[in-house]
């Protein structure tokens, strides 16, 4: 249980004892502002030379998923950055996808000069930081049981994940980016010996403080990492023990300001640039120390927060993105936060070992009626390895999410072995459809607990189906929000598309162009019954039936 009303963006319920810390330092206030650029004109970078700003692996992933390199891949114009820094304003980090930068300065009056620069569209205050980053350590309950996967056996078998492991798919060759708050002792913890010795610890990135030692920052990311690749023979084995990892810090634990959503953008963009296949993040945002920055539930559409928009862009660039749903199920705000509300990603809820919802797990749907969270894994008494190298337990969607991310790494490895042109959305749907609540999703569990053995079979089925010239869109109905949700393949931007809806008597009720995916239509005025949904795109037409009920 949280002991204060302040939301912590590390999505974990610490059921263990918090230790006090003290420090003596001269406090200095640093102010953060987000600066939105108007364009990328006269940039030295070009689409014809992507190797100047993307790794070979990142370019290869786009080729594999048939994703074009576009203007969002171009870095922000370095000339713009230089002009800002020439004013004595430090550019802390940048977001090429949002086309903006985060600046840090002690004298906020200098921002008046930044606002007048001709290439600046707008400036937004996003928070402050006082003094050095301090990370409170934690202790966790210990358990010495050891059988098969050790204490991790239950959370893996709940997902029917041992089947993939037995087939030899344990994440080998899959690169995972872990976006978190710090990774205490990962460089010395015995649970990560094989990760280090086998060269699978690919590198680190600290967006918050590039000069810090990421291995002495917050403990949370280290425990998250252990659920995927922790390996203590006979005591513990994670869900993706052969995968490779990038460790990325974007969270500053002591305070909560909107600037951290911009740090998150930079973190996911870094993950993309180095070519990760999967990104997992147990961070979430909805309320801040400055209440004027806080989001409302109406903002949870995936299109308001920059972090949520970046998560969707990452999915469109071929990255499987997983985000913790949150631990606010028993609070006044009991909804998912950002970037869990993003479209095209997997938001993960928490359940107990018996498969019932964890009381703390946050509720969906997204404000625009999409199923959130999509799927769930063990979040109550999740098995992990603590920073001392001892098998332990913790609570939170923070741990359910990387448990699921590890299994997605194994399934992606399998998918790539049978299909040279995989699709992120096909991969996700192969998993969602195996959820025990797929036919009747709930607000707290979404599609429920998936079965990775069945998901693997779904991939084989998808791979064996001949390709046809149909749109193959997905359609669902959310009874809670009375919304019809239509998603075009791969999350691509629709081209010359329209949607029409007909009643059973043939009366056309909706006829409108489609400019984005997903399409969310309110159905408050529809009477219960059967309707035909007709999608047309670039001369191809497909019609589906949908039942709308009260």
Domain ranges of the chain: 29-130, 153-463, 467-548
Residues in the chain: 550
Pick the CATH number of 153-463 from 3.40.50.200, 3.30.200.20, 3.90.700.10, 1.50.10.10: 3.40.50.200
- Are 480 and 365 in contact by the 8 Å Cβ rule? The answer is yes
Write down the CATH number for the domain with range 467-548: 2.60.40.3080
Tell me the Ramachandran region of residue 326: left when phi exceeds 0, alpha when psi lies from -120 to 50, beta otherwise.
Answer: left
| H/E stretch holding 154 | helix 153-157
Strand order in the sheet with 540-548: 508-514, 497-503, 529-537, 540-548
Q: Is the dihedral of CA 390, 212, 251, 106 positive or negative?
A: positive
Question: What's the maximum distance between 2 C-alpha atoms anywhere in the chain?
Answer: 75
Asked if 324 and 284 count as a contact pair (C-beta separation under 8 A), the reply is yes
What is the per-residue pLDDT for 463? Answer: 58
Note every long-range contact of 24-30, with CB atoms under 8 Å and residues 24 or more positions apart, other chains counting. 25/131, 25/132, 26/131, 27/130, 27/131, 28/106, 28/130, 28/131, 29/106, 29/128, 29/129, 29/130, 30/104, 30/105, 30/106, 30/128, 30/129, 30/130
Q: CA 531, CA 205: separation in Å to the nearest integer?
A: 50
Instruction: Identify the DSSP state of 527.
Output: P
Q: How far is CA 323 from the centre of its chain?
A: 4
pLDDT tens for the 550 residues of the chain, in order? 332 333 445 554 544 333 333 334 456 788 999 999 999 999 999 999 999 999 999 999 998 888 999 999 999 999 999 999 999 999 999 999 999 999 999 999 999 999 999 999 999 999 998 754 333 333 333 333 333 799 999 999 999 999 999 999 999 999 999 999 999 999 999 999 999 999 999 999 999 999 999 999 999 999 999 999 999 999 999 999 999 999 999 999 999 999 999 999 999 999 999 999 999 999 999 999 999 999 999 999 999 999 999 999 999 999 999 999 999 999 999 999 999 999 999 999 999 999 999 999 999 999 999 999 999 999 999 999 999 999 999 999 999 999 999 999 999 999 999 887 888 988 999 999 999 999 899 999 999 999 999 999 888 765 554 444 456 778 888 777 788 888 876 556 677 888 888 876 667 888 888 888 788 888 888 888 878 888 888 877 787 878 787 6
User: Residues 367, 298: contact at Cβ < 8 Å?
Assistant: yes
Q: Which two tokens stand for residue 234?
A: 């006979």
**Which of 420, 448, 421 shows the shortest CA–CA distance to 434?**
448
Q: How many angstroms separate the CA atoms of 473 and 248, rounded?
A: 35
CA 72/CA 84 separation, integer angstroms: 21
pLDDT recorded at residue 7? 42
The angle formed by the CA atoms of residues 245, 258 and 3, to the nearest 5 degrees, is 85
Ramachandran category for residue 247: left, alpha or beta (phi over 0 → left; psi -120 to 50 → alpha): beta
Q: At a CB cut-off of 8 Å and minimum separation 6, what does 237 contact?
A: 149, 150, 152, 230, 231
Phi then psi dihedrals of residue 349, to 5 deg = -95, 175
Main-chain phi, psi angles of 333, to 5 degrees? -85, 110
The two domains 29-130 and 153-463 share their CATH topology (first three levels equal): no
Taking alpha carbons only, the member of 210, 206, 211 closest to residue 182 is 206
Contact status, residue 57 vs residue 151, Cβ threshold 8 Å: no
Identify which of 470, 477, 468 has the alpha carbon closest to the alpha carbon of residue 501: 477
Nearest CA-CA partner of 248 in 201, 217, 184, 205: 205
Name residues whose C-beta falls within 8 Å of residue 196's C-beta, 6 or more positions apart in sequence: 187
**Closest alpha carbon to 12 in 443, 360, 408, 375:** 360
DSSP conformation class of 479: T
29-130 topology per CATH:
Alpha-Beta Plaits (3.30.70)
Strand, coil or helix: what is 193?
Answer: helix
Helix (H) or strand (E) holding 429: helix 424-432
């Amino acid at each position: 249980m949280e002991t204060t009303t302040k939301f912590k963006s590390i999505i974990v319920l610490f059921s263990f004892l918090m230790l006090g810390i003290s420090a003596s330092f001269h406090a200095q206030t640093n102010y953060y502002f987000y600066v939105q650029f108007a364009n990328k004109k006269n940039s030295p970078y070009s689409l014809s030379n992507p190797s100047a700003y993307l790794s070979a692996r990142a370019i290869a992933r786009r080729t594999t998923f048939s994703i074009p390199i576009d203007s969002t891949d171009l870095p922000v114009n370095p000339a713009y950055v230089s002009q800002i820094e020439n004013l004595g304003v430090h550019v802390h980090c940048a977001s090429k996808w949002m086309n903006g930068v985060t600046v840090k300065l002690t004298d906020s009056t200098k921002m008046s000069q930044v606002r007048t620069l001709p290439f600046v569209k707008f400036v937004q205050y996003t928070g402050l930081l006082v003094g050095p980053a301090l990370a409170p350590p934690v202790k966790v309950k210990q358990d010495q049981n050891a059988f098969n996967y050790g204490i991790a056996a239950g959370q893996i078998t709940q997902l029917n994940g041992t089947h993939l492991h037995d087939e030899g798919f344990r994440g080998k060759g899959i690169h995972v980016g872990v976006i978190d708050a710090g990774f205490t002792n990962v460089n010395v913890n015995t649970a990560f010996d094989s990760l280090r010795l086998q060269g699978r610890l690919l590198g680190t990135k600290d967006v918050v403080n590039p000069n810090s030692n990421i291995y002495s920052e917050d403990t949370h990311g280290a425990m998250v990492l252990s659920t995927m690749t922790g390996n203590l023979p006979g005591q513990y084995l994670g869900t993706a023990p052969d995968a490779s990892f990038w460790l990325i810090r974007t969270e500053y634990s002591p305070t909560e300001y909107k600037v951290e959503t911009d740090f998150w953008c930079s973190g996911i963009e870094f993950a993309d640039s180095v070519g990760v296949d999967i990104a997992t993040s147990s961070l979430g945002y909805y309320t801040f120390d400055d209440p004027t920055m806080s989001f409302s539930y109406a903002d949870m559409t995936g299109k308001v927060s920059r972090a949520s928009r970046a998560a969707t862009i990452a999915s469109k660039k071929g990255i499987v993105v997983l985000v913790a749903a949150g631990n606010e199920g028993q609070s006044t705000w009991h909804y998912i936060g950002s970037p869990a509300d993003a479209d095209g990603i997997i938001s993960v809820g928490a359940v107990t070992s018996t498969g019932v919802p964890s009381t703390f797990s946050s509720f969906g749907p997204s404000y625009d009626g999409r199923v959130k969270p999509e799927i769930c894994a063990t979040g109550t008494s999740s098995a992990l390895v603590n920073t001392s190298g001892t098998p332990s337990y913790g609570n939170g969607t923070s741990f359910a999410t990387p448990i699921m991310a590890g299994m997605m790494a194994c399934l992606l490895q399998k998918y790539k072995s049978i299909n040279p042109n995989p699709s992120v959305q096909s991969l996700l749907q192969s998993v969602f459809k195996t959820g025990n609540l797929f036919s009747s999703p709930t607000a707290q569990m979404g599609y429920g607990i998936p079965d990775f053995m069945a998901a693997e079979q779904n991939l084989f089925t998808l791979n064996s189906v001949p390709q046809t010239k149909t749109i193959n869109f997905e359609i669902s109905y959310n009874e809670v929000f009375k919304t019809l949700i239509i998603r075009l393949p791969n999350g691509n931007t629709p081209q010359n598309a329209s949607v029409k809806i007909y009643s059973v008597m043939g009366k056309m009720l909706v006829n409108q162009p489609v400019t984005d995916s997903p399409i969310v239509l309110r159905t408050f005025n529809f009477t219960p019954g059967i309707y035909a949904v007709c999608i047309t795109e670039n001369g191809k037409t497909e019609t589906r039936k949908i039942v709308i009920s009260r």
